[in-house]
Structure 1
Amino acid sequence: MADYKKTAKGILEHVGGVENIAGMTHCATRLRLNLKDDSKADDAAVKAVEGVVNVINTAGQYQILIGIEVPHVYDEFEILVKGSSEGDVVDTTNQGGSVLSKVFSAISGIFSPLLPALAGSGILRGLLILCVQLGVISESSGTYAILFAASMAVFYFLPVLLAFSSARRFGASPYISALIGGALLHPSFLALLGETGNGAMSSFFGIPVVLMNYNSTVVPIIFAIWAYSYLYKWLDKNVPETLKLVIIPLVSLLVMVPLTTIVIGPLGVYGGELIANGVNWLIERSGMLTGVVIGGGWSVLVSFGIHWAVNPIMINNISQVGYDYICPLTFACNFAVIGTALGVWFKSKNKELKNFALTGAITIALSAIIEPTLFGLLIKNKKLFLAQIIAGAVGGAYLGLTKVVTNAFVFGSVTTFPSFIIDNKNIVNGVIGLALSVVVGAVLGYIFTNKDDKLA
């Protein structure tokens, strides 16, 4: 069993200690640190820590690749940095780095805790659709209603979940923030929409309110909690300790719920819809080109750790329109890496290299985690890295041309393929596109590998 505490302690020791940590978060596979002084970090020593796969210092962040066990390491690391595990609020808004690095860090910090819920719900939704198509479950049955609720709850209550994770990121009260998100979904508020829906009008003490349906929305609540974090910190600093228990939640709800419904919410909804419509319009106009760029370039974004900037767009598309064009293109990248690794496995005679390549291919197929193979094999060999880019571009071009979509935000693997279950055409084209990525990757990986190559 891995010793997460030992791993966290080793990392902290070699990045300059507690006093050098300006901010910290994690995504699906990486511990992301903002260091006050990068020169105090010893990259070689960090890489040598048991449990660490690689180190990438980019986009204003010191990123330590660990793998899917990173949440456990982060928990231990947080305890070491803070001295205890008692606090609910993780305030990293004043971390060092550029504005761009802060944005990337915030996005990863907000969404990464929700990934298991989003992925699991998406797969359940795909399996439910498949059962309906096969006639196993009737849409009019209680079974369908229960499983549909289970698969869609994460999207309906997304504002509440995002409010909680945003609060931890921005340094506000997670529970009061969740109440702010919950108020936007309360039946009494939704009843004001009537039959008009988005754009219906009401008022708050004479102030006009443009009403919106906030279930499944992404942008409004994130901006609302970001704004609330400043109010919360001011209240926490200025309200006497004996009154905080009552005054802080009272003022928070009195101010933030009306402010969100009057100003922040409508702007967020329209802004989110504008982004989603813009992305989908671009893909509809030039699906093949979009497929080439994303399918081929996704691994480059992953290697720099900046792919998190795109993930919210996919999540927003899924929650707003029920499908997404970008997510299948990230599948093309992952399956291209699988194919390239298999090509290396077929060609190489070195036992260590063969085992690493095969293990990487199986890992991606089951868990969609490409970083170990990407950094341990492909980036070290420019020809192999180019091979998976070409393979991803070919598969992505086909997926984009045929307008393949997923009904859930998931990471690309064999286990998440049920997200393609929308209709037979979408499934068939999805299989063909991903098969192209694997085959092209395997052929090029075979060609670009020498029999006597070794694992560097």
Structure 2
Amino acid sequence: MNNSQMGEQILEGLGGPENISHFTHCATRLRVTPKSHGAIDKDKIESTPGVLSILEQSGQTQVVLGDKVEGVYNEMLKLPGMKNVGEGTVDADDNDEKKAGLLTRVFDVLSDAFRPILWALLGTSMILTLIVFLQQLGFFGTYTDLTGQVVNIDIVNGPRLSDPDAAASMLNEWRLKFPFWFILLAASLSVLQFMPIMIGATAAKRLGANMWVGAAIPAALMTGTFQGFADVATDGVVQVPFLGLTIPLYVMNYTGQIFPPLFAAALLAPLERFLKKVIPTMLHMVFVPMLSVLILVPLTAFLIGPFGIKFALLISDFIGNINEIAPWLVGALIAGLYLFMVPLGLHWPLNAVMINNLQTNGFDFIQSPMGAYNFAVFGVVTGVAIRARHNKLLRQTATGAAVSGLLGGISEPSLYGVVLRYKRVFPLILVPAVIGGALISMLGVKSYAFAFTSLLSIPAMQPAPLYMIGLAVAYFGALVGVLIFGYDSKTSKKALEDDATEGETVADRVEENKTSSVAAGLAGAGVAGAATASAGAHRSADQASDTTTAASSSDSAASADLPWAGSNNSGLDVPAPLAGRAIPLAEVPDPIFAGEKLGKGAAIEPSGNTVYAPAAGKVIATFPSGHAVGLRLDNGAELLIHVGIDTVSLNGQGFDVKVTKGQQVEAGQALLSFDRKVIEDAGFPLVTPVLVTNTVKFSEVSAKTGEVAPGDDLIQITA
């Protein structure tokens, strides 16, 4: 499925363009603020190949796509009705965002304010990383500093000399000697230094105000006119007479500050709405921005700006004081908590503090231990890629996540593709991450540029050799943990078996397990653990009849009681999940199913009353009405088993669901049972569609007809 097809299916699941109030994306997620959450079909979105996860946070629906996000986002903007959606502003009256808690809404706005800038920030920061790396190598030469030591030339921070005039003179000499590199240095610092203007624009737009007015407010405090007050200030304060009062103006440097423009934008949005209500529409263009600037620039200069800077310093100083006393504790907490903060979006306030530290101090002590968390995650997914040698799909996912993480520094593909699916790896991440983070902070490693922590950004952390020690502890500790303990209960239980048969080939294992119907059915995919299904060959008609009777009389039959035949030719075939007569979908008395709108497959007129898992996999959807269940099989097929037609109207009467969403199931495990009499008395057809909802992922999906028992061949899939 290409990006355009993914975008179409995701947009349908979101309820179409008419249900989208705000649409944007970050490094790994589509971020959508819907007008109605009830119009969103999560199952449709989750069934889209390439979608890692779907989250609901602070009124937003977030679709996690990993490194595909920008391509899919751009394709979605081209779809009908999306032209004017883009990065539109949010009207709190038109969507459910107002239902979110205040704190989560603040974090949400903070992340959306940073998101458009992130691309430029990371790009320019990598240029700064390159310059810092070259300085460490002595590329620019050496000089004698104020301590009398011969040190490498530092064009980023300038010469360290006791005489300010001599320092300025030497810096000018460096400018003349390395003009090209000073141009690149200017490029690398551009986003950091003018961050207030950019944040003012993006935050204002996110909150529904004019973005350029949002940019103009912090820009006013960065002009030479305002900064000229520093020349006449006494202890940084100018007494300003106003309406018979004397108001103190605290003259501060707003270059690189983040919180003042955020706070100003938070006031600009309601102020604009008020002004638009009281000023005639024909005068909006002139008087709304004029009055907004007239009110908010002085208010920001006197109150909001100083408060924002003090707020940032308070957070930074609090963490910094702890770092001075027990640096290992700060490193351990940051590396450990990030595993829980990133999925919830709570890491954005720390990112703001990091950027503020870089601009204020020239370095930051938060980002370096964060690298231990990232590398512990990458170590775990590398271990999963090695261990999952019988699960081709998982191995591909883990390998891609590990490579993109190690080179790009983005942890979300690893989190949603692997980590959150296998909770067993949490301690395998936490222990080495905490140790590595504590070690990095204890060794005094600091970051000198804002960058996603990866192999390529190592030079941004100094001293780099000490930083690499902490990363190695985190990465290899997590990797070895997975190799020893496995990544889920199945792999840990089979560890000794896997070690004992290390020399066998996959073909040997498949041949050995051909008596197991599911193992044979999954042979092409090489899925481990399939041998948990019972042994048995295809049955005779008498045996099939016996099994059908057993299925009808009991809804709790174990897999050992049912011979799951499957196919000996393809690892993608799907056995029948219940007993009855298989018919073509075209004969189902429902145009959606009959027209294969939800996917190809088969339908079964049931003679039993229990639906079983046709193969090992994960439950990806259950319904309050209990009439259907969605599965993602280990072989990659995604199924919807829908008992009866229009049976959702029964509101759960006559249905007993035996599994929960997210639960791992084995072949032959009972998923749900139903009371035939209740459904028939209500006048609903019992015919049960079994659909491959990700049909577009495969070359061909076909189905057999005739009598089937649980475990018989039903659907054939060609990769």
Cα-to-partner distance string for 1:414-450 (whole Å, 9 max, x where unaligned): 1222211x4xxx2121010001111101110101223
> Which of 436, 447, 463 lines up with 1:406 in the alignment?
447
Structure 1 residues 202 and 189: alpha-carbon distance in aligned structure 2, compared to 1, 3 A threshold: farther
- Partner SS for 2:359: helix
Q: Which residue of 2 aligns with 1:70?
A: 69
Cα-to-partner distance string for 1:94-113 (whole Å, 9 max, x where unaligned): 53322122112101110111
Larger mean CA deviation between 82-91 and 105-114 belongs to: 82-91
Q: Which residue of 2 aligns with 1:203?
A: 240
- Report 1:147-186 matches (<5 A): 147-186=184-223
- Partner SS for 2:66: coil
Unaligned 5+ residue runs, structure 2? 142-154, 156-173, 492-497, 499-526, 530-616, 618-633, 635-719
Amino acid at match of 1:285: I
- Tell me the C-alpha RMSD between the 2 structures: 2.8
- Report 1:32-71 matches (<5 A): 32-35=31-34, 38-58=37-57, 60-71=59-70
Cα-to-partner distance string for 1:71-121 (whole Å, 9 max, x where unaligned): 454466578797542888623555332212211210111011111222122
- Report 1:98-117 matches (<5 A): 98-117=101-120
Shift of 1:307: 2.4
Q: Which residue of 2 aligns with 1:126?
A: 129
Larger mean CA deviation between 179-188 and 32-41 belongs to: 32-41
Shift of 1:357: 2.5
Contact 2:51/2:63 (CA < 8 Å) preserved in 1? yes
Q: Which residue of 2 aligns with 1:189?
A: 226
Amino acid at match of 2:263: F
Structure 1 residues 70 and 171: alpha-carbon distance in aligned structure 2, compared to 1, 3 A threshold: same
Contact 1:164/1:177 (CA < 8 Å) preserved in 2? yes
Structure 1 residues 43 and 61: alpha-carbon distance in aligned structure 2, compared to 1, 3 A threshold: same
- Partner SS for 1:362: helix
Shift of 1:351: 5.6
Scaled by the length of structure 1, what TM-score is found?
A: 0.89
Amino acid at match of 2:307: L
Structure 1 residues 75 and 152: alpha-carbon distance in aligned structure 2, compared to 1, 3 A threshold: same
- 4+ residue segments displaced more than 6 Å: 78-82
Q: Which residue of 1 aligns with 2:281?
A: 241
Structure 1 residues 187 and 419: alpha-carbon distance in aligned structure 2, compared to 1, 3 A threshold: same
Amino acid at match of 1:26: H
Larger mean CA deviation between 70-79 and 328-337 belongs to: 70-79
Q: Partners in 1 of 2:120 and 2:447 — Cα distance?
A: 16
Structure 1 residues 202 and 79: alpha-carbon distance in aligned structure 2, compared to 1, 3 A threshold: farther
Structure 1 residues 430 and 254: alpha-carbon distance in aligned structure 2, compared to 1, 3 A threshold: same
Structure 1 residues 51 and 439: alpha-carbon distance in aligned structure 2, compared to 1, 3 A threshold: closer
Shift of 1:211: 1.6
Matching of residue 416 in structure 1 with residue 457 in structure 2: yes
Q: Partners in 2 of 1:436 and 1:282 — Cα distance?
A: 23
Contact 1:202/1:211 (CA < 8 Å) preserved in 2? no
Structure 1 residues 92 and 416: alpha-carbon distance in aligned structure 2, compared to 1, 3 A threshold: farther
Larger mean CA deviation between 446-455 and 77-86 belongs to: 77-86
Matching of residue 382 in structure 1 with residue 461 in structure 2: no
- Partner SS for 1:107: helix
Q: Partners in 1 of 2:111 and 2:77 — Cα distance?
A: 16
Q: Structure 1 or 2: larger strand share?
A: 2
Q: Partners in 2 of 1:355 and 1:225 — Cα distance?
A: 44
Scaled by the length of structure 2, what TM-score is found?
A: 0.58
Cα-to-partner distance string for 1:101-155 (whole Å, 9 max, x where unaligned): 2112101110111112221222211211222333433640322321221111112
Structure 1 residues 207 and 289: alpha-carbon distance in aligned structure 2, compared to 1, 3 A threshold: closer
- Report 1:254-403 matches (<5 A): 254-350=294-390, 352=392, 353-403=394-444
Amino acid at match of 1:117: A
Larger mean CA deviation between 206-215 and 196-205 belongs to: 196-205
Cα-to-partner distance string for 1:301-346 (whole Å, 9 max, x where unaligned): 2233332233212222222212222212221111112212222333
Larger Rg: 2
Q: Quick one: percent identity of the two aligned structures?
A: 32
Amino acid at match of 1:105: D
Q: Partners in 1 of 2:316 and 2:265 — Cα distance?
A: 21
Contact 1:30/1:66 (CA < 8 Å) preserved in 2? yes
Cα-to-partner distance string for 1:164-184 (whole Å, 9 max, x where unaligned): 111111111111221212111
State the structure with bigger RCO (CA 8 A, min sep 6), 1 or 2: 1
- Partner SS for 1:85: coil
> Which of 182, 194, 207 lines up with 1:145 in the alignment?
182
Q: Partners in 1 of 2:241 and 2:289 — Cα distance?
A: 20
Matching of residue 10 in structure 1 with residue 51 in structure 2: no
Q: Partners in 2 of 1:260 and 1:81 — Cα distance?
A: 42
Contact 2:113/2:199 (CA < 8 Å) preserved in 1? yes
Q: Partners in 1 of 2:83 and 2:219 — Cα distance?
A: 30
Shift of 1:46: 0.9
Q: Partners in 2 of 1:98 and 1:326 — Cα distance?
A: 27
Q: Partners in 1 of 2:411 and 2:198 — Cα distance?
A: 27
Q: Partners in 1 of 2:254 and 2:387 — Cα distance?
A: 53
Q: Structure 1 or 2: larger helix share?
A: 1
Contact 2:362/2:448 (CA < 8 Å) preserved in 1? yes
Q: Partners in 2 of 1:163 and 1:319 — Cα distance?
A: 17
Structure 1 residues 368 and 444: alpha-carbon distance in aligned structure 2, compared to 1, 3 A threshold: same
> Which of 426, 435, 454 lines up with 2:472 in the alignment?
435
- Partner SS for 1:203: strand
Shift of 1:198: 7.6
Structure 1 residues 304 and 272: alpha-carbon distance in aligned structure 2, compared to 1, 3 A threshold: closer
Contact 1:198/1:211 (CA < 8 Å) preserved in 2? no
Q: Partners in 1 of 2:188 and 2:181 — Cα distance?
A: 10
Q: Partners in 1 of 2:62 and 2:483 — Cα distance?
A: 31
Q: Partners in 2 of 1:8 and 1:257 — Cα distance?
A: 42
Q: Partners in 2 of 1:262 and 1:60 — Cα distance?
A: 34
Q: Partners in 1 of 2:80 and 2:250 — Cα distance?
A: 44
Amino acid at match of 2:66: G
Unaligned 5+ residue runs, structure 1? none
